[in-house]
Amino acid sequence: MRKLMMTTALALSLAPILAHAQSSDFTIVFADDSTSDVTFDPRVTQSRHEEQVIAQIFDQLVVGDADGKQYPGLAKSWKMAPDNTSVTLVLRDDVTFHDGTKFNAEAVKFTFDTIVDPATGSQGAIDMIGPYAGADILGPYEIRINYKRAFPTAVDSFTENELSIVSPTAVKTLGGTGFAQAPVGTGPFKFVSWEKGKQVVLERNPDYKWGASFYSTQGPSKVARIIHRYIPNAGTRVAALEAGEVQLTDLTPPLDMKRLADSGKFTTMTGIAAGVPLSLMFNTSKGALQDIKVRQAFITAVDRPRLSQNLFFGFAKAAWGPLAPSTPAYWKGVEEYYKFNRDTAGKLLDEAGWKMGSGGIREKDGQPLQIYYPTLLEPETSVALQADLKRVGIDLKVENVTKAKQDELILTNGYDVGGIRWVYNDPAVLRIPFDSNNIPEPGKFKFNWMRWKNADLDKTLASAATASSPEDRLKLYADAQKMIMDAAVFMPIHDQIETIALTNKITGARFAPGNWQLRLYDVRPAS
Partner 1 sequence: MHYAIRRILGIIPVLFFTWTIVFGVIQLIPGDPVNLMLAGVPASAEVRENERRRLGLDRPIIERYVTFLGRALRGDLGESYRSRQPVSKMISEQASSTLQLAAGGLAVGLTVGLLLGMLAGLMPNTWVDTLCMLVALAGVSLPSFWIGMMLIYVFGMTLAWVPIVGSGFSALILPSITVGLFVAGGFARLVRSSIIDAMGQDYIRTARAKGLSRFSIAFKHALRNALIPPVTLLGIQIAVLIGGAVVTENVFARPGLGTMLVEAVLNKDLPLVQALVVYTTAAYVIINLVVDLLYGLIDPRVQAGRS
Name the one range near partner 1 by CB under 8 A: 227-235, 286-294, 340-348, 489-497.
Answer: 227-235
**Binder among 69, 196, 265, 459 for partner 1 (CB under 8 A):** 196
Burial (CB count <10 Å: 0-12, 13-18, 19+), residue 396? buried
Name the one range near partner 1 by CB under 8 A: 54-62, 105-113, 212-220, 402-410.
Answer: 402-410
**Binder among 404, 455, 471, 527 for partner 1 (CB under 8 A):** 404
Buried b / exposed e over 34-60, threshold 16 CB at 10 Å, is beebebbbbbbbebbbbbbbbbbbbbb
3-state secondary structure of 5: helix
Which residues, including other chains, have CB under 8 Å from residue 316's CB and lie 6 or more apart?
254, 272, 308, 494, 495, 496, 497
Beta strands, E only, 376-526: 395-400, 417-423, 490-494, 497-503, 506-507, 510-511, 518-519, 524-525
**Binder among 228, 229, 293, 510 for partner 1 (CB under 8 A):** 229
Instruction: Return the closest-CA partner of residue 92 out of 131, 129, 63.
Output: 63
Cβ contact 388:380 at 8 Å: no
- Cβ closest to partner 1, residue 178 vs residue 470: 178
Q: CB of 404: closest distance to partner 1 in angstroms? A: 3
Q: Is 233 in the site for partner 1 (CB under 8 A)?
A: yes
Cβ contact 135:112 at 8 Å: yes
- Stretch 2-41: interaction string toward partner 1, x if CB under 8 A: ----x--xx--xx-xx-------------x---xx-xx--
- Cβ closest to partner 1, residue 282 vs residue 424: 424
**Binder among 100, 206, 219, 235 for partner 1 (CB under 8 A):** 235
**Binder among 42, 64, 72, 124 for partner 1 (CB under 8 A):** 124
Q: Count CB atoms within 10 A of the CB of residue 172.
A: 11
- Stretch 413-452: interaction string toward partner 1, x if CB under 8 A: ---------x------x--x----------xxx-x-----
- Cβ closest to partner 1, residue 359 vs residue 444: 444
- Cβ closest to partner 1, residue 10 vs residue 138: 10
Q: Angle at the Cα of 282 (from 280 to 284), degrees rounded to 5? A: 165
Cβ contact 115:126 at 8 Å: yes
**Residue 508's Cα: distance from chain center in Å?**
21
Residues near partner 1 (CB under 8 A): 6, 9-10, 13-14, 16-17, 31, 35-36, 38-39, 46-47, 118, 121-124, 126-127, 176-177, 180-181, 195-198, 229-233, 235-236, 239-240, 242-243, 245-246, 402-405, 407-408, 422, 429, 432, 443-445, 447
